[in-house]
Amino acid sequence: MYFDKIYKLQTGVSLKISTFALQELIANAITGQKFPELKSIRSTTDLHDYLSIIVCDGVEGLIDRRQRWLDHKIKTTLTAGHPVSFHSFCNLFWRNLDEDDPDGDEWHQLMASDQFYLQLTILLNKLRIVERSLLQRKDIASDLFLSST
């Protein structure tokens, strides 16, 4: 599974894992805001807080199958086509083996896959590159300031 690309489950549900919040965090770090928050991301699991799920197609069927585990807020968000936090979406599939709904089985397989972990690792490496670049730029700026006095 690749981030920011639509993936279709066998049940007909199309979804994507969005990195929009992470992209915003990087943009804010570059403009000088939220740099400490960027530095606080230390592992691939820390990235989960910045991922969201957008269900593009098949939301009605997903809602019908997951009705017992949906609260009103998530149902409204999914129906409107808005992003749901990664954690909230994962909570819809609370067991690995789901006899009632193959969405749960497939979701857990995707989250446990090497491909998902690889995508998280690549994303974390990109963050480290941004962080190092920002630190170097900061050092250069302070050096320029000190040399002008």
What does the pLDDT read at residue 98? 55
What does the pLDDT read at residue 133? 86
pTM, two decimal places: 0.84
What does the pLDDT read at residue 66? 87
- pLDDT means over runs of 10, the chain (149 residues): 91 95 89 81 95 96 88 93 95 68 83 94 92 74 40
DSSP letters, the chain, are --TTS-EE-TTS-EEEEE-HHHHHHHHHHHTTSSHHHHHT--SGGGGGGG-EEEEEE-HHHHHHHTGGG--HHHHHHHHHT--EEHHHHHTT--SSS-SS-HHHHHHHHHHTSHHHHHHHHHHHHHHHHHHHHHHHHHHHHHHHHHHT-
Task: Provide the residue ranges of all domains of the chain, joining segments of one domain with +.
Answer: 6-147
What does the pLDDT read at residue 41? 94
What does the pLDDT read at residue 136? 82
